[in-house]
Structure formats: C-alpha cells, structure tokens
C-alpha cells in the first residue's frame, strides 16, 4: 500500500519520513496554504530524496502552463489536482505531461453521489484521492468523512484515502475501506507543516502490526 505524507516543508523531516517508510511525499503549491513551499524550496528537498519516493505537487485551480513550468523546476514526479478542475482540464494537463508523471485528482466527498465523479474523471487521470468536503477549505482540514460510503467502492483507477486520518483511527478506516494508498497531513503534525516524527513512526507501527 502506498503511504503519502503531505505538506512536507523541510528536507530534514522529508528525509526522515521517507526513511520511516513513506513512499510518497506531498508538497503544497497553493500559495494561500500554511504549508505552501516555493518552487526553489521544493527543489532543495526533492533533489535529496530517494528515487523510489513519489514527489507529489499539490495544486488547486492552477493554469496548465504554470504547473508544467513548476514541474520542470522541482523534480516532482506527480501532480495532485485538489481544486475544481474539470475533466477537460485534467485531460489537457495529462496530454501535455510526460508519460511518467502521475496525475492524481482529488474528489471531496460530501455524499455517496460524490463518488460517481470517479467515473467521469477516470479516462483523464491515473489516480484518485478521496478527501473530506469542507465549504471553506480545499484540503488539510483534519476532518474525516463517512467511511461507510466506501464499503463497496471500486473505482476504475487506484485511489488514496485521505481526510482526518491519524495513527489512532487508521486501523478502523482500513477495516472499512480498501484503498490502494493513504494520505496523511494534519494527523501527523504538531502544527501546519511541522510534522511529528513520533506520530509518523507510530503510524507505521500500526500499519505493520
């Protein structure tokens, strides 16, 4: 299973989290986020990470040209679209990226109907990420959604479960849903962007037990 820790802001924490077992790290490219990193700072971290670790840039309603430019500066290997991007916009981006760049589309789950969006987006993306819906924030809310909605969820693409996951509730979540990966941010933090390595270690202990 893929384990993505999102909102990395320092090389020391990113390297330590990769050593603990994370095989994907997320970097926030949305300027209004408290976890935002500039392209230069992202590049300073990504160039030192092990090659097997996915390096995911998180964008929201960002122009395709800007995304491609930032990818060229930062050694990112995946793009996560966490805004209101349409299937057509996802298709446009995907068609302009190299084949080895993964496109992840976040779906904010408000109800069972939200899950139907995966059928519409599937031809244009590689992976989904299901997050909790919040009317004010696009992500990083620390809120979970009703995992019972996912009991029979079998989308046409691999998917991450996100939204309010912590070392304390991950076992419960995985007993209900069967994602291909999990994504944690605030659930392993002391404050936005400052990861708690003890919590990250605890997460992997739970996953390994």
CA atoms of 23 and 1, how far apart (whole Å)? 9
Active site residue 131: yes
CA nearest neighbour of 179 among 128, 114, 103: 128
Sequence-distant (6+) residues with CB within 8 A of 58 are 6, 26, 27, 28, 29, 30, 80, 82, 139
Query: CB burial class (10 A; 0-12, 13-18, 19+) of residue 2?
Result: middle
* Catalytic residue (choose from 6, 29, 90, 183): 6
Catalytic pick from 29, 90, 131, 183?
Answer: 131
Is the distance from CB of 29 to CB of 56 less than 8 angstroms?
no
Q: Look up 6 and say whether it is catalytic.
A: yes
Active site residues: 6, 131
């Amino acid at each position: 299973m893929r384990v993505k820790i999102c909102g990395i802001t320092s090389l020391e924490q990113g390297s330590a989290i990769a050593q603990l077992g994370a095989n994907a790290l997320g970097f926030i490219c949305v300027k209004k986020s408290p976890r935002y990193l500039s392209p230069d700072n992202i590049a300073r971290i990504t160039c030192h990470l092990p090659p097997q670790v996915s390096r995911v840039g998180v964008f929201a309603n960002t122009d395709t040209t800007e995304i491609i430019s930032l990818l060229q500066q930062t050694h990112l290997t995946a793009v996560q679209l966490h805004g209101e991007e349409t299937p057509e916009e996802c298709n446009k981006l995907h068609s302009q990226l190299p084949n080895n760049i993964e496109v992840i589309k976040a779906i904010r789950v408000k109800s069972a109907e939200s899950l139907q969006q995966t059928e519409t987006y599937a031809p244009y993306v590689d992976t989904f990420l299901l997050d909790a819906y919040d009317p004010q924030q696009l992500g990083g809310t620390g809120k979970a959604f009703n995992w019972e909605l996912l009991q029979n969820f079998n989308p046409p693409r691999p998917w991450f479960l996100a939204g309010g996951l912590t070392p304390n509730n991950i076992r419960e979540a995985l007993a209900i849903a069967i994602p291909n990966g999990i994504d944690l941010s605030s659930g392993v933090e002391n404050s936005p962007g400052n990861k708690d390595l003890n919590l990250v270690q605890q997460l992997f202990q739970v996953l390994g037990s």
